[in-house]
Amino acid sequence: GEDVEQSLFLSVREGDSSVINCTYTDSSSTYLYWYKQEPGAGLQLLTYIFSNMDMKQDQRLTVLLNKKDKHLSLRIADTQTGDSAIYFCAESPGSASKIIFGSGTRLSIRP
């Protein structure tokens, strides 16, 4: 069945760039998402990309999609302490009933 894989942890120095990676298996994925979860809170949509795009940039966030390898990444430029959170990758074939989440990557920031 469909699966979304992420590494569990990432540690970066404050001010550096963070790159969080994700791989998915469903070749019919139409939308790919990045959600952010801060401690004690629900998930919040950060950004999304359509499967016919290679890249999307939104301020400090850059999403790269390699559809051939089914690989999605989220780059956060100039990482700040407020970026500490769990980041979830998710994909959907364009159906409201079928949104698959990865297990989340916990990003921690070193001073």
Q: Which two tokens stand for residue 4?
A: 């979304």
Per CB under 8 A, which region of 19-27, 61-69, 77-85, 94-102 contacts other proteins? 94-102
Nearer to other proteins, 55 or 96 (CB): 96
Name 16's bridge partners.
none
> At its nearest, how many Å lie between other proteins and the CB of residue 104?
6
Interatomic CA distance for residues 9 and 25, integer angstroms: 21
Task: Select from 43, 60, 73, 84 the one that contacts other proteins (CB under 8 A).
Answer: 43
What are the phi and psi torsion angles at 83 (to 5°)?
Answer: -85, -5
Task: Select from 12, 21, 48, 67 the one that contacts other proteins (CB under 8 A).
Answer: 48
How far CA 32 is from CA of 21, 25, 45, 56, 85, in Å, comes to: 12, 12, 11, 11, 19
The contact set with other proteins (CB under 8 A) reads 4, 8, 31, 33, 35, 40-45, 48, 50, 88, 92, 94-97, 99, 101-104
